Structure 1
Amino acid sequence: MILLWGHPEERPFAQVLRALHARGADPLVLDQRRPMTVTSGTVRTAGASWNLAGVTAAYLRPYDAARLPAVTRSPARTALTRYARRAAPALCAWADHAPALVVNRPSASATNAAKACQGLLVEAAGFAVPPSLVTDDAQALAEFAGEHGAVVVKPGSGIRARVALADVHDPGRMARLATCPTFFQRHIPGEDVRVHVVGDRTFAVRLASDAVDYRVRDAALKQSTVELPGDLPERCVALARALGLVVAGIDLRMTPEGDWFCFEANPAPAFTFFAGADQVAEAVADLLHAHRPSS
């Protein structure tokens, strides 16, 4: 049995589900918006129950269900929130120890919630990582910028936020730094490449933009699928495996001098934003379908 857990209307989830249906698969879909219980290895929802021991492959894209609009706007939101907060830890514990193929195990995904920590692991796997600093000290930041030049401020956790150039000469901003340790990196000029790793396959997209963060809504962005040069495909697969990830979205940047830097490896990539999304969804579906029980 193939299991999918998350929000069925979320685009990557929906695209993988469609690809599985196209292969004749009928996966168990656990919708976070619905009441659910998990006890003694059995999940119950929508008036039915399934033994998780029968799961051979799982694709996990859970959100904080207590914050989903379908839950917060429901007249039964209190009950739904209670179900979600009990079911999610149980499913995560199962996913970390199940003998099934799990895309991805929660424990392996955790490093993305601490970017400085993940950066050390990425560097240990052989990729160049920009010099980084986590600080609440304006003087330390000024010294860092004096050594490295332009500096960007970016989220240090798994919460999505805009990457921007840091103005280390703004007294107001520097005064606020003392209220919260913040993650900074040396700004690396160059061209962005997003690499989706699915098992031992890679799918690369070149992202041409003048913006510091190409994800900004009004950024002019041109995307094109590309082939990675040299041994980069193998290195990306090796990085994902070193992090314990079956599927990953790896953010690279090639400098004008031809050097490659790695910013992060996302364990739950929103691949539908990128060119070539259909191929990524098909590859994920192939991976899950290959682990279905033999008839």
Structure 2
Amino acid sequence: MGGRGRSVLVLTNSYDVTSDVVLRILAERCVPVVRLDPGADPHSGASLSAMYGTGGQRGTLTTPSRALDLMRVRSVWVRRPSPYAGPPGLAGQDRRFAAEQSFWGTGGILASLPGAHYVNHPWNNRAAEHKPAQLATAGRSGFQVPATLITSDEREARDFVAREPGGVVYKPIWNTPYRVDGRPHSVWVREVRAQEITGAVAVCPHMFQAKVDKAFDVRVTAVGDRLFGARIDSPDLDWRRRQDLMRCTPIAVPETVALSVAAYRAGFRLEYGAFDFAVTTDGVWYFLECNPSGQWAWQPDGIADAIAQAPADRLEKGSDA
């Protein structure tokens, strides 16, 4: 195999349980793996160097336990690395400067490894994280998409809510960390009425979406052409709110949905994607979003164990995949 003897590089934070599962499988297969959190590890003993010139390039990643030849990386799994925040010993503009240099420098090196197979490439991840781009690509890919308005105009928002007889929900466009009284606070998907909309909408873009009269939700985890469907039954509009109350069971993915998933992945050049759907009583699957680095270890063992083998296979094969 072309990747024999070459390492898999996993870019993620130290609390990523999902990657832990796959790393155990790769270890069982005797595949060499190096794990790095590029946003944090360079501040605690790791270093990265790269040389470029007419004769080609070379580079080394050094951690407290090993040194990795960057030219001998078979695959890069971009999971959930920490943000580039800069060294904790710096403050103000100095820390911002260091953080941005790290983002463009460290991030640029790790995104440009010759011959490495990316799951997913970080630049493709970034493009695929934008909700407006997701919705536009979903429509072109053949998915059913609920009517959605993104606006900072109070009147537009009120009119949209008034036109939707089945109701409208509000969703944050990005899951920005938020705190109330110093404690982490999540902004869940919730139903919104016209009288609740005020001039505060003008502060930033807000996303309003026609409420789907759903029978249940579905998470489809796509790893290449392999699809793993999980039906989610929950008493909540947003099943993430109280996961202890939801029930998760396997479900087959309709061929029409599978074809749209393939078209969507091709549009963003994604190897991996976690797709969320709302399914109506008459069997219509409505696309809600796709997280290019979504979690799946929370699913029941029977589903999660099957999913875990798929990224392990892609990472082990490298550019032969």
TM-score range, shorter chain: 0.7 to 0.9
Deviation at 1:51? Answer: 2.6
1:18 and 1:237 mapped to 2: Cα distance?
28
Using the TM superposition, give the Cα deviation of residue 232 of structure 1 relative to its aligned residue in structure 2, in angstroms.
Answer: 2.6
User: CA separation in 1, counterparts of 2:175 and 2:222?
Assistant: 19
Question: How far off is 1:188 after superposition?
Answer: 0.9
Map of 1:146-185 to 2, 5 A cutoff? 146-149=162-165, 150-157=167-174, 159=176, 161-170=187-196, 173-185=197-209
| Partner Cα separation in structure 2 for residue 6 and residue 221 of structure 1 | 27
Deviation at 1:239, TM superposition (A): 1.9
On the 8 A contact 1:155/1:161 being kept in 2, the answer is yes
1:77 aligns to 2:88 (yes or no):
yes
Change beyond 3 A, Cα 1:185–1:111: farther
| Larger mean Cα displacement after TM superposition, 264-273 or 176-185 | 176-185
Q: 1:136–1:85: structure 2 CA closer, same or farther, 3 Å change rule?
A: closer
% same residue: 25
The residue type equivalent to 1:37 in the other structure is S
SS in 2 for 1:21: helix
Q: 1:89 aligns with which of 85, 100, 104?
A: 104
The answer for the alignment partner of 2:64 in structure 1 is 46
Query: What SS class does the counterpart of residue 169 from structure 1 fall into?
Result: helix
In 1, Cα distance between the equivalents of 2:228 and 2:142? 20
The residue type paired with residue 105 of structure 1 is: H
Q: Report deviation, 1:77.
A: 2.9
C-alpha contact (below 8 Å) 2:217/2:278 kept by paired residues: yes
Determine if the alignment matches structure 1 residue 22 to structure 2 residue 28. yes
Question: Residue 260 of structure 1 aligns to which amino acid in structure 2?
Answer: W
Whole-angstrom CA distance in 1 between matches of 2:230 and 2:174: 24
Would you say how many aligned residue pairs link Structure 1 and Structure 2? 284
| Structure 2 Cα separation of the partners of residues 17 and 245 of structure 1 | 21
Structure 1 residues without counterparts, runs of 5 or longer: none
Q: Could you say what secondary structure the match of 2:253 adopts?
A: coil
Compared with structure 1, are the counterparts of its residues 86 and 164 closer, same or farther at alpha carbon in structure 2 (3 Å cutoff)?
Answer: same
| Residues in 2 aligned to 1:17 and 1:47: alpha-carbon distance in whole angstroms | 17
**1:289 to 2:316 alignment:** yes
Partner of 2:53: none
1:15·1:281 contact (CA, 8 Å) conserved in 2? yes
| Residue of structure 2 in register with 1:241 after alignment | 266
Aligned counterparts, 1:268-283, within 5 A? 268-275=293-300, 276-283=303-310
> In 2, are the aligned partners of 1:112 and 1:157 still within 8 Å (CA)?
no
User: Take 2:110 and 2:138, find their aligned partners in 1: how far apart are those partners?
Assistant: 24
Q: Does 1:121 align with 2:137?
A: yes
Shift of 1:65: 4.3
Whether 2:108 is the aligned partner of 1:101: answer no
Q: Which runs of 4+ in 1 moved over 6 A?
A: 81-84
- The one-letter amino acid of 2:48's match is V
Q: Which moved more, 1:158-167 or 1:127-136?
A: 158-167
State the shift of 1:180 in Å.
Answer: 2.0
Q: Offset at 1:104? A: 0.9
Which residue of the partner structure matches residue 77 of structure 2?
59
* Aligned-residue offset at 1:95: 4.6
Q: What's 2:181 paired with?
A: none
1:34 aligns with 2:41: yes
Q: Is the 8 A contact 2:10 2:78 kept in 1?
A: yes
Distance 1:231 1:95, change over 3 A: farther
Secondary structure in structure 2 of the residue aligned to 1:143: helix
Asked if the contact 1:101–1:288 (Cα under 8 Å) also holds between the matched residues in 2, the reply is yes
Give, in angstroms, the shift of residue 203 of structure 1. 0.4
Shift of 1:78: 2.1
Q: Judge conservation of contact 1:37–1:83 (CA < 8 Å) in 2.
A: no
* Residues 244, 218 of structure 1: alpha-carbon distance in 2 compared, 3 angstrom cutoff: closer
**1:209 corresponds to which residue?**
234
Q: CA deviation at 1:92?
A: 3.1
Query: Conserved in 2, the CA contact under 8 Å of 1:195 and 1:250?
Result: yes
> Could you list the runs of 5+ residues in structure 2 that have no partner in the other structure?
1-6, 51-58, 177-185
Secondary structure of the structure 2 residue equivalent to 1:272: coil
